[in-house]
A and B are shown apart, each in its own frame.
Chain A
Amino acid sequence: MPKLKLARHWWVIGIGLSLLFLLRFLPPDTSLARLRQKGSINVCYPPNLKPLISYQRVGDKVEGIETSIIQSLAQSLDLRINWNLQRDWYRSIDPSAWGIRKGACDILVGGIVDSKASKGFFILSPAHLQSGWAMVGEMPQRRDEVGFWAPYFGLDVARFTATSYLDKARLNPYFLSDPDEALSMLKSRELKAVLTDSLTAAWLAEMTGLASWQIAELPSFGFSLATWKGNVTLRRAMLKSAKSYRPETQP
């Protein structure tokens, strides 16, 4: 008995599969093409998030650990960087009050935590910096006031865990408004210690000469670059650039 061939229309399967594979390479949006046409990339950042990123009035420049990832990305895309300072970013706890507008920012950088909460608003690059929680200063005693600085975008759950940690240790949190306040209060001994992310803690320790120590029981987290949802081609470029990125400062 002659064997029946499995399929009579191999050409349909061939064309169908080829089309599906080819469609994967079609750009799903114009986010990257628009930047290439413009020749520059608008990068939004908060005013003071030392040591991650901050605006320096003297010399009118942007400094910080997170600037190098942006420079690497811009270089790989052959684009100029337009630093776009967002003065109200982290000014309040409500992100919708920060005045960050979609049209003004192609990419956002500045303490954006790689978390589900951040993904509610953005699409993220892989975390380029890893951090965790650390204390800087002297070992606080029960009922001491401990500074707390962690305004980062998308840190919601981890921030809650960290403040619960202070509660459990019977320490009173003092919510700081920026890292310079943390620095001056540590220097003047108004605060015995500050609980913050490990990168900021290392910076504060370096600036004050005080000791810092990791809080191992609190979760670690990573910082990412963010772009708006739908900017898939730009995100792909961010992923490609992140693979070749070598940070100048390793925490």
Chain B
Amino acid sequence: MLFYLSTIYAIWLREIKRSFRDSGQLTGAFIRPMLWVMIFGIGLTPYFSGGISESTFVVPFTYSQFILPAVAVLNVMYAAVQSGVSLIWDREFGFFREVFASPAPRVAVFLGKLLGGATIATLQGMLVLILAPAADVPVSWRQGMLATLALFGLAIVFSAFAIVIASRMSSFQGFGVFSNALILPLYFLSSSVFPLDPSLSVEQQILIFPPWMVFAVRVNPITYIVDMLRGIMIDYHQFAPYLGSYVLLGLCAVLIPWAYREFQRRS
């Protein structure tokens, strides 16, 4: 058991060290919240603040408050998917050959990688919380803890997904393009930058937004995770409050075994 745990720890620490030593990844982690919260959020806030008779959507938040939890999700997604690159790296440069030749159990190596990627992603998501006062979102200790827990759940999901993708890819360039092509649509279609008005039924939403968009937002699992985080941070839900945690647990139940299977077969 101790050997098992020390293998997880060694691989986890390696992931952490590698991420902390990657200045490009670190710069991205700091720049993203600045761009999205301070420039995009503050820049668009006046356009979403009507008066009494001028309001189109009556929602209990400002645009900066609305976007902050989504930016935390974005930072987690980028960092978690980035952890998949290290898997390609380790496979191409023979690290796995050496590790798998040792008595280290594969499941421990897998868990070390998964938890390492998830830890880095969670830390990067938490960076966004530093900007909470700038977006006028007061975050109590309890809210901070719950938000961190939700971000960690999302980080696990995306780290597992990154392992699935990276296990099937052999080039770094291909992975980079694929991860962008995956993250950005998932992010934009998660009700992250525009709200589907909660006071409207699906039929009414379809009158305002094109039906394909309403459909895409509703089938995107990230929508419910962003919604869960909004519930924690700004006390606002577009969907039933429990949906986010169910979706997160469901994704964990599917993606972790799938990632392990791919990891075993292809690494």
Chain A residues close to B by CB (< 8 Å): 4, 6-9, 12-13, 15-17, 19-21, 23-24, 26, 28-29, 95-96, 98, 100-102, 116, 119-121, 123, 228-232, 235-236
Q: Closest A residue to B236 by CB, please name it.
A: A116
Q: Closest A residue to B45 by CB, please name it.
A: A230
5 more contacts with CB within 8 A, not counting A21-B130, A120-B58, are A7-B20, A17-B130, A20-B127, A20-B130, A229-B45
- Size of the B side of the interface (Cβ < 8 Å), in residues, is 37
Please state if A26 and B38 are interface contacts (CB–CB under 8 Å).
yes
Is residue B54 within 8 Å, beta carbon to beta carbon, of the partner chain? yes
Segment at the A interface, from B23-31, B215-223, B239-247: B23-31
Query: Contacts A23-B38, A24-B131, A120-B59 hold; do A29 and B52 have CB atoms under 8 A apart?
Result: no
Partner of A116, one of B27, B60, B131: B60
Partner of B51, one of A12, A19, A101: A101
In the bound assembly, the distance between CA atoms of A15 and B34 in angstroms comes to 13
- Sorted nearest first, the 8 A-B pairs with minimum C-beta distance are A16-B30, A119-B60, A230-B49, A102-B51, A229-B49, A120-B58, A7-B20, A96-B53
Partner of A23, one of B21, B62, B134, B136: B134
Please state if A229 and B26 are interface contacts (CB–CB under 8 Å).
no
Please state if A29 and B134 are interface contacts (CB–CB under 8 Å).
no
Q: Which B residues are CB-close (under 8 A) to A8?
A: 20-21, 23
Q: Closest A residue to B138 by CB, please name it.
A: A239
Please state if A28 and B51 are interface contacts (CB–CB under 8 Å).
no
Please state if A232 and B136 are interface contacts (CB–CB under 8 Å).
yes
- A29, A229, A236, most chain B CB atoms within 10 A: A229
B136 vs chain A, min Cβ distance (A): 5
Please state if B34 and A20 are interface contacts (CB–CB under 8 Å).
yes
Please state if A12 and B27 are interface contacts (CB–CB under 8 Å).
yes
Q: Mark B40-59, 1 if CB is under 8 A from A, else 0.
A: 00100110111111110011
Provide 7 A-B residue pairs closer than 8 Å at the C-beta atoms, listed in order of the A residue: A19-B34, A26-B134, A29-B46, A102-B51, A121-B51, A121-B58, A230-B63
Q: Closest B residue to A30 by CB, please name it.
A: B46
Is residue B261 within 8 Å, beta carbon to beta carbon, of the partner chain? no
Is residue B174 within 8 Å, beta carbon to beta carbon, of the partner chain? no
Q: Which A residues are CB-close (under 8 A) to B34?
A: 19-20, 23
Please state if A228 and B136 are interface contacts (CB–CB under 8 Å).
no
- B33, B58, B60, most chain A CB atoms within 10 A: B60
In the bound assembly, the distance between CA atoms of A230 and B49 in angstroms comes to 6
In the bound assembly, the distance between CA atoms of A76 and B174 in angstroms comes to 59
Is residue B64 within 8 Å, beta carbon to beta carbon, of the partner chain? yes
Partner of B62, one of A7, A16, A21, A229: A229
Is residue B206 within 8 Å, beta carbon to beta carbon, of the partner chain? no
Please state if A229 and B48 are interface contacts (CB–CB under 8 Å).
yes
Q: Which A residues are CB-close (under 8 A) to B52?
A: 95-96, 98, 100, 121
B184 vs chain A, min Cβ distance (A): 23
B51 vs chain A, min Cβ distance (A): 4
Query: Contacts A7-B20, A16-B26, A120-B55 hold; do A23 and B131 have CB atoms under 8 A apart?
Result: yes
Query: Contacts A12-B27, A19-B30, A21-B130 hold; do A28 and B60 have CB atoms under 8 A apart?
Result: no
Is residue B133 within 8 Å, beta carbon to beta carbon, of the partner chain? yes
In the bound assembly, the distance between CA atoms of A121 and B21 in angstroms comes to 46
Is residue B266 within 8 Å, beta carbon to beta carbon, of the partner chain? no
Please state if A119 and B54 are interface contacts (CB–CB under 8 Å).
no
Q: Which B residues are CB-close (under 8 A) to A20?
A: 30, 33-34, 127, 130-131
